[in-house]
Structure 1
Amino acid sequence: MTFSRRTLLGAAAASPVALSAAPAEASSSLFRESLDYALGKLRQVAPNVTSFPEETKFEKWVYVNSGGWVGGFWPGMHWLAFLDSGDEQFRKWAVESALRLSPRRTDTSIHDLGFLFYPSWVTAYRLTGDASWRDGAVQAASSLIQRYNDKGRFIRAWGALGTPNNAGRAIMDTMMNLDLLTFASEQTGDPRYLDVAVAHALTTRAKFIRPDGSTPHVFDFDPETGADIGPNTNQGYSPTSCWSRGQAWGIYGFTTMYRRTRRREFLEAARKLADFALDALTPDHIPVWDYRSPLAPNDVKDSSAGAIMACGLIDLAAASGRIGYRLAALRILDALCRTCLTTRSERHEAILARGTRNRRIEVGIEVSLPYGDYYLMEALLRVLKPRELARAIGL
């Protein structure tokens, strides 16, 4: 008789006694060593970094001066390092790099203001109490809600406001930008931000999630009427495939929205996405870049999808009361620490190898990515210092 991973996960969740014998928590020494490695790498590389890492080429960071959509992760890594170590040098690097994002607070041309300002400015506010960080994050949230399309009830993905190209596109990644909006409502008492976040999450749940729990990267709408056009993709293999990083964004994002609102449909959405991804996961516990690539399960991996998924699953276990999700997360995290760190190369500037930026257009294959490094550190801290991390990122 054979069992799917979904069946085993359900059995694990229903049998806490059996779980006590699982090896999941036995990796704590490995996790501590891996986080120490991450902090050491940051100490080595940060003095020479004056911009925002975007990806590696030949083991060295390539930068995007504006921050692109990834600019929040570099200061975010330093805030996490400061949280773990108490080293004021990490705090200094975090502040310096976060402040370089200041001009982006009023940027209405991008949907990723949550990625830019949550790990950097929101975390800064929670760790320092300095109201200027809070006010800047709220200003960024005010810029983000201008991208909301009230006809289709979604936040527009790419393109400057008022331009026709991509005007009707929503993407799974935006689930991760919604917590900036919930933070703004919490801090200001203004419900508009939360209302937009809930509306976008409900639309994503209704339009993106297939009956089997898989998702496309993109869903297109008529921007004038809000009418459905249908699923599409930008970074996945096809409109009918399942890009693993997008699936991970969804697990994390829907779980977060459940915690903020206690709306049961968001928890159910997170579980459905998680169950599909865990069924599709290969025995090495590192996600293939697209679960439905014709070459899967033997196509290139995306370690960043694994790191994001581990964070989301740990959160989902707590939200759902199903410890099986935590065990699955710890196995992923164990695999990342054993097989994906850059420990074999002293010249490497990043922490996590085996990332895939955009396999579909052959950009960034087998590279390191700042979000891979950031979410690896976050996942390690979720295990090693959960109370401290909860204070920093609002768990």
Structure 2
Amino acid sequence: MKIQHYITGALMIGLGVQAISCSSQKNLTTAKLGLNKEFVKTNLGDAHKQINYLASSIQESDIPTTYKDGKYVNWGSSWWCSGFYPGTVLYLYEYTKDEKLLNEAKRKLKHLEKEKNNKGTHDLGFMLYCSFGNALRLTGDSTAYKGVLSTGAASLATRFHEAPKTIRSWDGGKNWDGQPWTYPVIIDNMMNLEFLTEVSKMTGDKRFRDIAIRHANTTMVNHYRKDYSSYHVVDYNPDNGSIISRKTAQGAFDESAWARGQAWGLYGYTMMYRETGEKKYLEQARNIAKFYLNHPNLPKDLIPYWDMDQNKLTKESKYFNQKDLRDVSTAAVTASALLELAQYTKGSESQLYISKAEQMLKSLSSKPYKADYKEAGGYILKHSVGSIPHKTEVDVPLTYADYYYVEALIRYDRMLNGEKVIKQ
């Protein structure tokens, strides 16, 4: 998504991004789309009904995270997922023009606003940009939202340090070996860079964009293996930027390809190409997509296992009995990313990304992944995995799965309308 009306720093990106825009529009007009308006209307209509039910079932101060054993789980505004529910509501408002949805989003934003001052998390892009960023884009209300976004970006920027050239992810905790993290950076952090680049344009503060670029560059070098799979965590020495270890926190084992981590990287580097016009980011996204889509362990319905290397787990592994769980949230993120990547590529490659995203959307929009009305408390999709190693949010509906599913449907609807996938 893009913030409208405040692109004061647009000239810094130059003609490269303008060329991307022209090329992507041409790609959209030549693409063959396999889904129709009725498919989008039906599934966004069902999502609308579910979200209305969810909104009527929770307290005003609740910020939904998941639904388990017939009960709502709300982790609060400081949890990394807090921006997804209002963001989903706003996307559905964009499609339906239902003013009740806008009012619901505003109620949640009121409780979320204080996180603009939160310097203890790297997840402010998820928390603030998916929510307040969409609100600004759809309403143009700079008085209500611009200050929140700029303050939040400044808070996020405090977590960047010169020696590692990255934004620190966690301030505490221990790795699987029981050793404290020193300066951990997770691949998920790629998803918070859009927040910085957009606020940079909104405010004219080049510092935010520079941080995003430096973080993306460092991550490209240090997180990725030769086959373009990603480690989950790289732990740095904050004094000189050297690498202490490469580990996982949510994957099956350190050298595995934790599924959602691969999706975060694909989405993040596709976005960074859009924001900068740097071809190296496009090539990185294309290579990640190739690794992901050609993975021999990817199921036929394209809804991945929670870890793409889970088949390598032995009976001695404490995760063996859960090795075949799918992660719907990964498929939702990937589908949305592929639709954007398709507009920056050409011919059969572009068509491949569209076709794969369509297949993912068809799978997500049918059983066993799509919930019946009220079945999952108003959540749209079932069978996501938060973190098996932490025994949290395992095989449940998740707010971010719903967000990226709705985003992907909105992006696809724009394609059907002959519009750009990303609204500017």
Q: Same fold (TM over 0.5)?
A: yes
Structure 2 CA distance for aligned equivalents of residues 28 and 278 of structure 1: 26
CA contact (8 A) 1:289 1:302 kept: yes
Deviation (angstroms), 1:31: 3.2
Aligned to 2:251: 236
Asked if the contact 2:311/2:323 (under 8 Å) is kept, the reply is no
Q: Does 1:354 align with 2:379?
A: no
- 1:228 Cα shift? 1.4
Q: Is the CA contact (8 Å cut-off) linking 1:126 and 1:393 kept in structure 2? A: no
Equivalent position of 1:52 in the other structure: 63
Question: Partner of 2:239: helix, strand, or coil?
Answer: coil
Mapped partners of 2:99, 2:399: distance in 1: 22
Per the alignment, residue 393 of structure 2 pairs with 364
Output the CA distance in 1 between the equivalents of 2:396 and 2:117. 31
How much has 1:209 moved relative to structure 2? Answer: 1.4
Q: Does 1:373 align with 2:395?
A: no
Choose the corresponding residue for 1:111, options 122, 129, 132. 122
- 1:274-303 per-residue CA deviation (whole Å, 9 max, x = no partner) reads 111111221121011000113689711000
Residue 38 of structure 1 is matched in structure 2 by 47
Confirm or deny: 8 A CA contact 2:310 2:323 kept in the other structure: no
Q: Is the 2:328–2:384 Cα contact (8 Å) retained in structure 1?
A: yes
Query: Residue 366 of structure 2 aligns to a residue in which SS?
Result: helix
Question: Which amino acid in 1 is paired with 2:38?
Answer: S
Letter in 2 for 1:228: I
1:141 matched to 2:153: yes
Match for 2:273 among 251, 255, 258? Answer: 258
After superposition, what is the alpha-carbon deviation per residue over 1:186-243, rounded to whole angstroms, capped at 9, x for unaligned?
A: 0111110000000000011111111111111111111221111231111111120011
- AA in 2 matched with 1:34: N
List 4+ stretches of structure 1 deviating above 6 A. 387-393
Decide whether aligned partners of structure 1 residues 269 and 347 sit closer, same or farther in structure 2, where only a CA change above 3 A counts. closer
Bigger shift: 377-386 or 290-299? 290-299
Q: How does 1:292-307 map to 2 (within 5 A)?
A: 292-294=309-311, 299-307=324-332
How do residues 4-19 of structure 1 correspond to structure 2 at under 5 angstroms?
none
Structure 2 residue aligned with 1:91: 102
1:338 equivalent among 366, 369, 378 = 366
**Per-residue deviation, residues 337-379 of structure 1 (Å, max 9, x unmatched):** 1131111764633110010111223322210000001111001
Query: What is the SS of the residue equivalent to 1:71?
Result: coil
CA drift of 1:393 comes to 6.4
**Structure 1 residues 279-288 or 135-144, which shifts more?**
279-288
Kept after mapping to 1: 8 A contact 2:340/2:422: no
* Structure with higher RCO (Cα < 8 A, 6+ apart): 2
Q: What are the ranges of 5 or more consecutive residues in structure 2 without an aligned counterpart?
A: 1-27, 173-178, 314-321
Provide, for residues 2-55 of structure 1, a one-character-per-residue CA deviation record: whole Å limited to 9, x for no partner.
xxxxxxxxxxxxxx9x985xxx62365333211111100111120232311122
Structure 1 residues 27 and 217: alpha-carbon distance in aligned structure 2, compared to 1, 3 A threshold:
farther
Q: Aligned match of 2:283 in 262, 265, 268?
A: 268
Q: Which amino acid aligns with 2:357?
A: A
Distance 1:83 1:67 in 2: 26
CA distance in 1, matches of 2:360, 2:323: 17
Q: How far did residue 178 of structure 1 move?
A: 0.4
Distance 1:242 1:28, change over 3 A: farther
TM-score w.r.t. length of structure 2:
0.83
1:310 equivalent among 335, 342, 347:
335
8 Å CA contact 1:60–1:350 kept in 2: the answer is: no
1:52/1:67 contact within 8 Å kept? no
- Please state whether the residue corresponding to 1:198 is helix, strand or coil: helix
Contact 1:289 1:301 in 2 (8 A): yes
**SS of the residue 1:338 aligns to:** coil
Q: Counterpart amino acid of 1:320?
A: T
Task: Tell me the CA shift for residue 315 of structure 1.
Answer: 0.5
Cα deviation 1:251-291 (Å, max 9, x = unaligned):
11100000000111111111111111111221121011000
Amino acid at match of 1:111: H
Structure 1 gaps, min length 5: 1-15
Q: Secondary structure at the match of 2:34?
A: helix
Structure 2 distance, partners of 1:134, 1:381, is 24
Report SS of the residue matched to 1:170: strand
Q: Secondary structure at the match of 1:100?
A: helix
**CA distance in structure 1 between the partners assigned to 2:166 and 2:106 by the alignment:** 33
Question: Could you tell me whether the CA contact under 8 Å between 1:54 and 1:70 is conserved in 2?
Answer: yes
Distance 1:143 1:167, change over 3 A: farther
Q: Do structure 1's residue 127 and structure 2's residue 138 form an aligned pair?
A: yes
Number of residue pairs the alignment of both structures matches: 373
**Structure 1 Cα separation of the partners of residues 363 and 302 of structure 2:** 6
RMSD: 2.5
